[in-house]
Each structure stands twice: as structure tokens, then as C-alpha cells.
Structure 1
Amino acid sequence: VVSMHQRGFGFAMLADPAEAAQFKKDIFLPPGDALGGAVHGDRVLVRVVKQSGDRAEGKVLEVLQRGITRVVGFYVAGKSTGLVEPEDERLPYKIVVKRARSQGARTGEVVYAEIEKFRDQGNPEGKVLEVLGDPADARVQTEMAIRGFELSHRFSAELLAEADGLDARVRLTKERQDLRQIPFVTIDGEDARDFDDAVAVEPLAKGFRLYVAIADVSHYVRPGTLLDEEAYARGTSVYFPGRVLPMLPERLSNDLCSLMPGVDRCTFTAIIDFDQQGRRRHAAFQRSLIKSRHRLTYGQVRAMLEDGDPELSRRYADVLADLGLLQQLAARLNEVRMERGSIGFEIPEADIHLDEEGQVDRIRRSERNVAHRLIEECMLAANEAVAEFLEKNQAEVLYRIHEDPDPVKVAEFAEFASAMGLQIPPNPGGPRWFGQVLKLAEGTPREYIVSNLLLRSMQQARYSPENVGHFGLAASHYTHFTSPIRRYPDLLVHRALAALLGGKSAKKVKGQGALLPSGHSVPEAGVWLSRRERVAVDAERNVNDRLAALYMTDKVGEEFEAVVSGVGAFGIFVELVEIMLSGAISLSEMLDDYYEVEEKSHRLLGRRTGKIYQIGDLVRVRLQEVDQRRRRLNFVIAS
């Protein structure tokens, strides 16, 4: 598959894993004849013509299949025909559309078009499928990303009918433990609409008993159903500011599987005992029935635990002591994780808020408080306990793995950090070392940069049937159990757990193929679901960049505090301190001196003044330009 660069060259990414293993890197395709008429996304037959070091160079012999036939673009009307200019600059053509097939699109509007006929020479022909609207509208920008990433955003009528036909009666059966007397609460964000996890705690003579109850999605979504096929195809819910593309219809996500207060709900509960130091002593898992006491928000819990808010403390007096106990347990669980070397990343993000009209009215640094950490520790503890149980029982299931980082990337990071003046500890590479480096930057303007660079030096976490542990958490066992309403791997884990608790051996479960839609294996699911997660993450970032550019359009000329996050031959990257948006300053705009790039020390040095700009420096910048099409913010150094 051809992946094009905006400068005209490309790379051939080999589809067959065995063939790909022969090459350390994707095959380089120089611009011009070597591309053989191929464009971004095409499936091609390629011949290797040259090998230089660890990079092979190739030539496209034949375009086997056009990879991109549907395109998001900008419409330009003509007399009898119009043109659709693709938003993706890697597509080197415009689509010719006859007026009768333009759906009434007007010049400047965003459309979703289909290519019907490619030509050896000249522009392809096609038609407009949808007119999305004005690109200055935040809702239209979100729709552009949804179409561009080919995300499923509607459920079929047949599937919705299947969801509506589910039995809503909740009954206590012999395989369910009645936990309705346990004072569960849900703790979520202010805008959350689905509540798929609830927590409770009891004091023990020598420790704590933690209850983590998760919506029992597997009770409703069975293999072989339309709901299951669609959930597997989507793989995950996708979250945008003000909008979600759910993995499951609202009938499930906001109703049957939402742990609303005062309502009996089917759950899967992890019951875990810890000693006073927060070390796990025993774990049990049970299909259950719960009735949540309260729907709490992170802000409310923080106000009670940190500020002692009198009104909230009175309103939730029946669970106030439990919240305090949960806070104690979470603190000890965190201490245990940190002691074993878990990496304590705290990376703030831009929190984008939309008004009632669906337009961006506010961007600010996201908050992470005591309540977020409390829930996080409870979920991590449940995921680890479930993973250990599954491996002990030899279940064929997906673990959430995070492999050791590439030593070369770690060495490069250590060089970066040293250039910033950090006294890097010896023996780089282990989780504990990463934690020590984060501590060095904690509380400084460089903390965000160091965290991001560390993160980039690591492997991406993924799903795999082979448990190799989780490097970032320094955990020998880890899986995803706590969000089956929005992640398919969690649903798979629930099914495996239910089968084992029902007395079936791992071998029998595997033989029945009862965990996945027909025709899919667990190893294949690991690859597919990891890929779907990656697409979701990329789409979410894409929308955030789009909305950030829209928000900043009327702020050209304003000044901001920023931190230098990267240095290169082009100039410097910056990150705005208050609202966590990224931008760049071109070297050509730095007119007070002639700056030279010192690559080894990752800095710019002014030849005349000796002025230095390096990663981690605080600078004051002025927004010069917003490039909405490329989703870029261009700054200059403020005088």
C-alpha cells in the first residue's frame, strides 16, 4: 500500500508480514516515474530496484487497486461541471463533477465525493455523495474527520431493532450474586452520559475490600448477533468534543448497561482484598446484581475530599466515609505501583468545550484531580487481578501489552534530556529509570515536554493473546476489563471470564469459539482491535486540531506564554502553557539574528547575539497566522 508524502515521494508498506520482515523499513518510492501513476492509498505491485543500508528503493510495476475512492474536499462550481479539491494534500488530483451530480453544492462548501472513473492522464470523474457545509462550522469540521477516517456513524435499522428487542427485565438468577446492599457509586465527568463502572469499599480487620462493578454487556451482546458483528467491526467508541460515535447503540450504552442510581443493573464484579499497605491478598469475580446509590462527578468528589464542601457532604453523607476510605486505598495502591517502577505520567491535554450551537467557546488545560486518580487506581487494580486470573486458567483472551522500548530511542531521549540540563540517572531503559527522569522535571515548565518525549520513546500499547506484561505499569499481568460498553477487547475478556466461572475449561471455551463473531480468531482480533484503537486515537486528535484552529482564528495578534517543545532546521515548535495547543515558529520569521541549528544539543544559537532557544525554554509568542486547511498555528516570538 502506497503512503505518499506531500513533497511527492512515497513509501510502499508491504501487506504480507513475512515479506515485510525482510526489510527494516518501508520501501522508498522516489517521485516521478517510480510511482507508476500510483497515488496515496493505492495497492500496488512493487519491484525492489536498489538496496542502500537498511532502506530499499522500489518502482511501482502496476496499480492493483485504487485505495481511496471516497474523498472529503472543497467544491468549486463551474458552468456545466464543478471540481472537488481533496482536503488531503497527498491526493494529486481534483475530481470532475457534472452539475447534475453535485447535490447543489456551492463554491467553498465541504463535500463528500466518490470517484467513479480514474484516468491515466488528467483528473478523475465522480459525484458528490453529501454536502457537509461551511468549513467554518465546528460541526462540519467534525463531519469531515468522520468521513475522512471512514468511521461508522450510523446504526442500521435492523440492528437498532435488535437492540430495541432486548429483554429489559433485570432478574436475580443462580449465577448472579446479589450485591444490591453494597453502597456502590459511579464517579464520572460532568458531561458523561453512560456510567459503565461503579466502585465500593469495605474496611477489613487488616485492610480493605474493593468492589469494582462493570456493566455486564456480555449478558446482552451475544456472539452471532448483529450487535456483536457491528461492535467488533467498530472495535471502540470514538470521542469528540460534544459528540461520541458509540460502539453500541444508546439502548445499551445509555440505558440497559448504564449503572444509573437507584436502578437494578446486571454487572460483572471484581471483589479484591488488600492489606493495609495496598498489596492484593485475594481476588474473586462474580456475575452480579447491583443498585448504585449515587451518580457522582469528579468535581463533586474532589470538593468533598479536598475542600470538605459542607453542602455536598450533607447530601452524600451516606457514602462520605466510603469515599474517604477509597481515597486511602487509592493512595496505597499508587504507592505500591510506584515502588515496583510504574511510570507516573501526568500529561495535561486541551479540554475543548462546545456551546449549545455546537461551536467552540472555550479551550483550557484539562483537570486531573484526586477523584480521577481514585477511579484510575481502582480500575488498574481490577484489570491486573482479572489478567492474572485469566492467565492462571490458561484462557485464550486478549491481554493489554506494552513491550520494552527500543534501546536506541531511549538513548536518543537520554541525549535530549541531557541537552536540557537534566542530570540523567545511569542505566537507562527500565520503568524505574523512566520514573526517575519524570521526577527530575516534575513541577517545572519542562515537565510536559519531558513526559511527551519519554512517551514517544516507548512502544505503543496493543492487544495480544501473548501476555508479555505491561512496561509502563511495570505489571506482569494486565488486560482491559473495565469498559466493555466502549471497547470490544473488554467484552471479549468478560466472555472468557464468564465461561471460566461457569465451569468450562479454557480448552472447551476455545473449542466452542464462543468469544468472537464467527470466522475470527483471537490472534486476528488482537491485530484488528489494536488497529481500530489507533484509528480512533488519530481521528480524535484530528478533530481536536481542527477545532483548535477554528477557535484560534479570531485570536491572530494575541500573545501567549509557551514552552519550546522541539527544534529543527525549519525553526521551533511551541506548546501554549495555558491551553495546551501546539504551533510553530519559522526560522524565517526570527529576524533579530541569524540562527544556526545545533543538532546535537537540540537548540538554535544566534550568531550575533548568542541568544539560545532550546527544548524546555519558556518564551512569549504572538499568533501570526492560522492555517485551517492544514490545521496549523503559526507564531512569531513576541517583542
Structure 2
Amino acid sequence: MNNIEFDTKKQIIMDLVSHPEYRPLKIKEIAALLDIPQHDRHILDEVLQTLIAEGKLIKTKRSKYAVPEKLNLISGVFEGHPKGFGFVVVEEEENDIFIPGDNTNGALHKDKVLIKIVSEPSGRRKEGEVVQIVERGVTEVIGTFDKSSNFGFVIPDNPKLFKDIFVSKTNDKGAVTGHKVIVEITNYGNERRSPEGSITEIIGHVNDPGTDITSIVRGFNLPVDFPEAVMREVESIPAEVQEKELKNRLDIRDWQTVTIDGEDAKDLDDAITITKKPDGKYTLGVHIADVTHYVKENSFLDKEAITRATSVYLVDRVIPMLPHKLSNGICSLNANVDRLALSCIMDLDENGTVIGHKIEQTVINVDRRMTYTAVKKILEENDEETIAEYKELVPMFKDMEDLAMLLRTKRKQRGSIDFDFPESKIILNEQGEPIDIKAYDRNVATKIIEEFMLLANETIAEDYHWQELPFVYRTHELPDPEKIQKLGQFIYNFGYRIKGHKESIHPKEIQKLLSEIEGKPEEPIISRLALRSMKQARYTASNDGHFGLSAKYYTHFTSPIRRYPDLQIHRIIKQNLNGELNEKKIAHYKSILPQVTKQCSELERRAEEAERETNKLKKVEYMSKHIGEEFEGVISGVTSWGIYVELPNTVEGLVHVTALDDDYYIFDQEKYMFVGERTSKIYRIGDTVNIRVLGTDKIQKTIDFEMVE
């Protein structure tokens, strides 16, 4: 049967089963209606299986065929949960659909599925049942091998793949217990039977240095090595700025310019200039590496950059979006060398309001490469030695501090939300072992850069919004109304209120709440619940505002070395400045930006998950050396299965409900707390407690605590 005949039969069958008068049909009924003889039934079966694989047709439990729409089925992607249940992400639905463990019907994480809604509880998310698995989302799994005499199991690194994979002795490639392996799934099993697989690669033993992080990199399918075509393209790029490249650029090499970054940073993509006039007005220049000068649209470099979308910052390494010759070399705004930049130069009045700006293609020359630590020593600690070392720049830093504080005050007044939860800084030795963990220092220097980058991003976004040109925006949507309602009910017990309708709350109300609870015993619990009510920010081709920043216009302009959305808008801005943004180009960007923003958002999530997993792994490794030791911590989460406690160094562990053995504790879901039945003792989010480290599990990346009186 040729392709034309096959496609014709597919269409005829689709027309047939879609007919309004027909109910779901058995194969013999379809054969009879199409007058297909018994000896050609295998051809019909082949067509039906193809339609099922394409998600156009479904086979019911009674072996009848129908289109999903007739059975009110919904298509989506299954997101597994370690406890065996899951959620289906549906594009048209605002909230994911909950799938109980009994209703997964063999679906695994990332499978494309068809589901039916079985329950719509009032005030809670819909519940569904997987009716058909349309397409498997995972074909290879990274995990730890556990060997028995004649077989073994691979325990997936990703806990969302909640089933171990059976491996027969003939398919184990000689792996032993503790080996990190890649296993190809050969049989997906069902709700009663484990998936089966064949080991294709042994990465290394779990105790070998570097194996753990490499496994995470492979598990998230993060691209490490650059293709040869990309590297050949990089070779043609000069290591230094050429004289001919300075044509039609604003030359500001004589402006006093600095970069301010962490000590370890090598990809320096933003530099600052500032002047303060006698009348209190400022001119602030935010100068960003002109990456698009070297990364041309549709080049091998560009295509590779968008497939990565972001640099990934793991605890022991950086997986860059661009090769090092660009990210650490010609694109990096290193000191005392000429560099090409795209600059946003803003004039501000004495109150910190932008009263004018211009966007220019520039050439700059950075005077000093500053660190957050050095600037902090100058401005916060008045360290005489550091002040003497950078004496010519000290007045500039004081002007920066004054303006940044003005901007910060203005931002808070309009309602910008600032969740000040500490990030982790994990320090490793040469063998990759964690030797210290502490909270990342947010100081005056980090706040200066934060405020200046925010201002440039807002200024650029507003400019291009009003020009009505295709653009990439950073969007943060309104919080989930149900979560805001729950937050409102909870804080009412503490005497607080959130004004406004739950559907259209203003960010100022959240910021006001955070200000009211500052320093109060209930601050940790309420601020955490407020954070959990927020949605995740994402990239969009439309300007929909940024709720968390209380900003009508926001984009990402300031990091094109490590974020593709920034690189994309640089390209648009430059073409606009050069008069190249004609109707054809505008139509081109309108057609590609929805997909670009969707892909960048998805790959940003992947990078964040990989970063979280490496941090969790090293925290487990660090705490495994402290088993039996006691620490003071704060309850950071309360669930039906136990209490999460966060230590001052940002490590979080679980006190399992079975470890609360001094009483029988009742879980109060509404108030996020456990109450002792006999003693009335209460454990709630935000309480300070003493714990002892019980144990760690490097494979599951978990830390167990117990309470200490």
C-alpha cells in the first residue's frame, strides 16, 4: 500500500468515526462500513494504530474506536510525582489536572496522554483519569543500579519517574550496585508491572568524583560540548575589537566605567557609568555586551544558542550558552580592553524618575573590574585599605549607592514585592566535595546592580511597547486566585488583611503585608505562603506586565551572554536603530517570537531544576558528615507526611511524622501545623526548633532530622 492510499484510508476512517450519528465502533464494524474483506483486516489495523499513535483516535477498554472529542477527552502532558500520583498540564486549562495514583493507568513522567475529567470539586483543582498514552515522553533514564543475583533494578535519579526499571542479567552491561547508568526502556509495563530496560552506558560509580553531577547533566539532557560547526564559526571571530567595527558607534571609552560582579564571574555582560550633577540629577549608563555583533541570526552559533536558551550554573561548573571564546573573551566586558556594547543611557531627576533616555550602539573600555565584596568594603565597612586602592572610583560608588537607594524606595512605594529568602553558596574542594555551605550575601553592592539592571529593563520594555514593534517581554502574571484566597483566610487569624478582589489583587497589597509582618514571629510563615501563591515568571511576545515588580513594562535586556531572550531583543533593537526593521523583518519576528519565548521559558525551567538538583545533592553530601549533630533551624514547611526544617546555612531536611514520637500529632491543613493530641504542643511554619541529623540518602537526595528538646 503506497502513502497516498494509506493517507486516504486514514482520512476516510477519521470522517467515519467523527460522524455525528456514529457511536464508538469496533474494528469489525468499521471494516463492514468500509467494505474491507477479512483478509485485508491487517491493513485496517495498521491504519488504526497509526491514528492512535498520532493522538487522533482512541481505543477504549471495550476495544472500540472513537475520536477523543466524542468521549470528551483532553490532551496534555503527564507530570509525575514521587508518591505515585501526577498532574496533567493542559494548555487550555489555567490549573493542572490532578491524576490520583489509581488513575495513572501506566502513564510515566512526560508522557503525552488523553484524560477524562472524573471530578470537579468546588474550590479545588479538577481530577482526571488517564485513558490513553499517546506518546511516551521518556525513552532513556539516568539512575543508580541495584544488582541482585540474576537481575537488577535502576532507581531513577528523577523522583518524578516513580517506578524502578527492571534489568535482566543479560542486559546489565556488567554494571554493579552503585553504578550510575543510562538505561533504555524496552517495555513500559503497566500499573501492576515495572518497566523493563537495557543498560546502554555506565557513567561511573556513585562514589567516583564528578559522577554525581555528570549524571544530573545527562539526566536533564543538558548540551555540554559545542558542535564542530559552531566551533569553526567561533574560530573566525577575532579575539579583539577591530578598528573597522567602531564605525557608527558612540565612543564612550573615556567615561569612567566599572563592572561589579561576584569574585568567580567570568562572563561580564554589564558595565555601569554614572554622573551626578550639582542640581541632584543623574545620568546613568547601563552598558551591555553587544553579543549580536558576533552571533548572527541563523548562524550555527545562533541555532546552538537557542537550543540551549540559557547558561546553566551548577554547583561545580558552568554550562555556557555560548563558547568560552565569546562568553569569557570578546563578548565579556573585561577591564582595560575595548569592547562593543549596546547602551541604555538614562537621565534621572533628583527623585530617581527617568526623564529621558537613549539607546546607543557604543564602544566602551572598562576602568576596573570590581567585586561585590570590594564595593561592600568601601560603602558598608569603610575599609581604609580598599578605599585607598580604589580612591579615584569611591565618589562614583557613593553616587551609585545614593541613586540605587532612591530607586529601591520608589520601587517599594509602587508595590514591588521583595522576597528576601537566602540563596545557597556551596563551597567545594578540589575533589568536588562540599566543605562549607552558607547563605549568599545580599549587600549594598548586589542591590546597586539589581536596581540599575531593573531600571534598564523597564526603560527598554516601555520604549519598545510604545513603538508597537515585535519584542520579547518578561511576564509575571497575577497570582492564582485560590491561593490568594487561602492566604487571606490564613493571615486573618493573625489580624492581617489583603484588600482587593482575589481575582485582581494589586502587588502593593502583598508588599504592604510583608512590611507589616517584618520582624514579627509570624513573618517566616506568612512570607513563605505569600511566595507560594505567586506564579512563575515567563517570557512572552506580548507585554502583559510583571506582577512581582509591580511593573507595567518589563523585559530582559541585561544578560545576552547567558540568556537567549536578551540576545533576541538586542537583535531587534539594533535593526531598529539601523533602520533595518522593515515590514518583512517585522512579519518575521511576529511569526517566530511566540515559539522563541515558549522554548526559552521551558529551557529556563530545565536549567533551574538542574541547578536545584545539584545543590540538593551537595547539601546531602555535606550533611552526611554531620549525622548525629544538633542544629537550630526554622520550620519551613508542614505537610501530612512531616515537618521540613531549614538551617541557617539554607540546608533543609525532613522530620518525618513517624519521628514525632512524644505524642500523637494531628495535621491541621488549613493552619499549616501539627498539634499534639495529649500535650497540645504545636509545630508550625516559622517556629524555631532544635533538630538532630538522623541520616541522609544520596540517591534520593533527602536529609532526615528528628526533633530535640
2:563 to 467, 479, 487: 487
Per-residue deviation, 1:601: 3.0
2:635 to 560, 564, 569: 564
Which residue of structure 2 aligns with residue 164 of structure 1? Answer: 235
Deviations 1:211-263 (A, max 9, x none): 11110001000111111001111111111112111111101100011111100
Q: How far apart, CA to CA, are the structure 2 residues paired with 1:458 and 1:39?
A: 28
Per-residue deviation, 1:108: 1.3
1:310 is aligned to 2:384: yes
Matches within 5 A, 1:217-236: 217-236=291-310
Q: How far apart, CA to CA, are the structure 2 residues paired with 1:195 and 1:72?
A: 34
Which residue of structure 1 aligns with residue 674 of structure 2? Answer: 604
Aligned with 1:553: secondary structure?
Answer: helix
Which residue of structure 2 aligns with residue 613 of structure 1? Answer: 683
Q: CA RMSD in A?
A: 2.5
Deviations 1:101-130 (A, max 9, x none): 72x54331212233356678775342322x
What amino acid maps onto 2:365 in structure 1? K
Comparing 290-299 and 317-326, the one that deviates more: 317-326
* TM norm structure 2: 0.82
Per-residue deviation, 1:505: 4.6
1:401 is aligned to 2:475: yes
Q: How far apart, CA to CA, are the structure 1 residues paired with 2:409 and 2:325?
A: 40
Comparing 428-437 and 115-124, the one that deviates more: 115-124
Which residue of structure 1 aligns with residue 258 of structure 2? Answer: 185
Matches within 5 A, 1:503-582: 503-505=579-581, 507-511=583-587, 513=588, 521-576=592-647, 578-582=648-652
Return closer, same or farther for 1:47/1:551 CA change in 2, 3 Å cut-off: closer
C-alpha contact (below 8 Å) 1:97/1:128 kept by paired residues: no
Return closer, same or farther for 1:13/1:424 CA change in 2, 3 Å cut-off: closer
Which residue of structure 1 aligns with residue 33 of structure 2? Answer: none
Q: How far apart, CA to CA, are the structure 2 residues paired with 1:29 and 1:599?
A: 19
How many aligned residue pairs are there?
621
Q: How far apart, CA to CA, are the structure 1 residues paired with 2:86 and 2:672?
A: 28
Per-residue deviation, 1:164: 1.9
Comparing 443-452 and 359-368, the one that deviates more: 443-452
Deviations 1:118-171 (A, max 9, x none): 678775342322x33232456322222211211112211221121122133413
Q: How far apart, CA to CA, are the structure 1 residues paired with 2:395 and 2:88?
A: 60
**Runs of 5+ in structure 1 lacking a partner?**
none
Q: How far apart, CA to CA, are the structure 2 residues paired with 1:342 and 1:7?
A: 37
Per-residue deviation, 1:345: 2.3
Q: How far apart, CA to CA, are the structure 2 residues paired with 1:227 and 1:3?
A: 32
Q: How far apart, CA to CA, are the structure 2 residues paired with 1:498 and 1:116?
A: 50
2:136 to 66, 73, 81: 66
2:181 to 108, 111, 121: 111
Per-residue deviation, 1:424: 3.9
Between the two structures, name the one with larger relative contact order (CA 8 Å, sep ≥ 6): 1
1:272 is aligned to 2:346: yes
Comparing 161-170 and 620-629, the one that deviates more: 161-170
2:411 to 329, 333, 337: 337
Comparing 115-124 and 437-446, the one that deviates more: 115-124
1:211 to 268, 277, 285: 285
Which residue of structure 2 aligns with residue 465 of structure 1? Answer: 541
Comparing 622-631 and 389-398, the one that deviates more: 622-631
Q: How far apart, CA to CA, are the structure 1 residues paired with 2:488 and 2:361?
A: 47
Per-residue deviation, 1:36: 4.8
C-alpha contact (below 8 Å) 2:635/2:684 kept by paired residues: yes
Which residue of structure 2 aligns with residue 423 of structure 1? Answer: 496
Per-residue deviation, 1:210: 0.4
Return closer, same or farther for 1:136/1:445 CA change in 2, 3 Å cut-off: farther
1:195 is aligned to 2:271: no
1:133 is aligned to 2:204: yes
What amino acid maps onto 2:348 in structure 1? F
C-alpha contact (below 8 Å) 2:490/2:671 kept by paired residues: yes
Which residue of structure 1 aligns with residue 706 of structure 2? Answer: 636
1:622 to 689, 692, 698: 692
1:92 to 153, 163, 168: 163
Q: How far apart, CA to CA, are the structure 1 residues paired with 2:401 and 2:150?
A: 68
Return closer, same or farther for 1:416/1:547 CA change in 2, 3 Å cut-off: farther
Q: How far apart, CA to CA, are the structure 1 residues paired with 2:499 and 2:162?
A: 47
Per-residue deviation, 1:600: 3.2
Q: How far apart, CA to CA, are the structure 1 residues paired with 2:79 and 2:221?
A: 17
Deviations 1:398-437 (A, max 9, x none): 1111122223211212333344x36345447321111111
Q: How far apart, CA to CA, are the structure 2 residues paired with 1:506 and 1:373?
A: 39
What amino acid maps onto 2:316 in structure 1? G
Comparing 384-393 and 76-85, the one that deviates more: 76-85
Q: Percent identity?
A: 37
Aligned with 2:275: secondary structure?
Answer: strand
Q: How far apart, CA to CA, are the structure 2 residues paired with 1:611 and 1:368?
A: 36
1:42 is aligned to 2:111: yes
Per-residue deviation, 1:607: 2.5
C-alpha contact (below 8 Å) 1:138/1:550 kept by paired residues: no
Comparing 439-448 and 395-404, the one that deviates more: 439-448
C-alpha contact (below 8 Å) 2:81/2:162 kept by paired residues: no
What amino acid maps onto 2:116 in structure 1? V
What amino acid maps onto 1:479 in structure 2? T
C-alpha contact (below 8 Å) 2:259/2:368 kept by paired residues: yes
C-alpha contact (below 8 Å) 2:183/2:197 kept by paired residues: no
Per-residue deviation, 1:521: 1.0
Per-residue deviation, 1:326: 0.8
What amino acid maps onto 1:492 in structure 2? Q
Return closer, same or farther for 1:506/1:334 CA change in 2, 3 Å cut-off: farther
Which residue of structure 2 aligns with residue 388 of structure 1? Answer: 462
Aligned with 2:508: secondary structure?
Answer: helix
Deviations 1:168-226 (A, max 9, x none): 34135332110100111010001111111110101234300001111000100011111
C-alpha contact (below 8 Å) 1:352/1:362 kept by paired residues: yes
Comparing 330-339 and 370-379, the one that deviates more: 330-339
C-alpha contact (below 8 Å) 1:117/1:126 kept by paired residues: no
What amino acid maps onto 1:242 in structure 2? D
Matches within 5 A, 1:287-306: 287-306=361-380
Deviations 1:14-37 (A, max 9, x none): 4xx3xx44x864263653xx5554
What amino acid maps onto 1:222 in structure 2? K
Deviations 1:486-516 (A, max 9, x none): 00000111111111111245645313x3x69
Return closer, same or farther for 1:271/1:9 CA change in 2, 3 Å cut-off: closer
Which residue of structure 1 aligns with residue 335 of structure 2? Answer: 261
What amino acid maps onto 2:615 in structure 1? N
Of structures 1 and 2, the larger Rg is shown by: 2
Aligned with 1:3: secondary structure?
Answer: strand
Q: How far apart, CA to CA, are the structure 2 residues paired with 1:509 and 1:305?
A: 47
* TM norm structure 1: 0.91
Q: How far apart, CA to CA, are the structure 1 residues paired with 2:470 and 2:536?
A: 22
Comparing 107-116 and 51-60, the one that deviates more: 51-60
Q: How far apart, CA to CA, are the structure 1 residues paired with 2:679 and 2:194?
A: 52
Q: How far apart, CA to CA, are the structure 1 residues paired with 2:668 and 2:524?
A: 23
Q: How far apart, CA to CA, are the structure 2 residues paired with 1:461 and 1:169?
A: 37
C-alpha contact (below 8 Å) 1:97/1:127 kept by paired residues: no
Which residue of structure 1 aligns with residue 657 of structure 2? Answer: 587
Return closer, same or farther for 1:25/1:123 CA change in 2, 3 Å cut-off: closer
Aligned with 1:265: secondary structure?
Answer: strand
Which residue of structure 1 aligns with residue 550 of structure 2? Answer: 474
Q: How far apart, CA to CA, are the structure 2 residues paired with 1:59 and 1:242?
A: 40
C-alpha contact (below 8 Å) 1:422/1:440 kept by paired residues: no
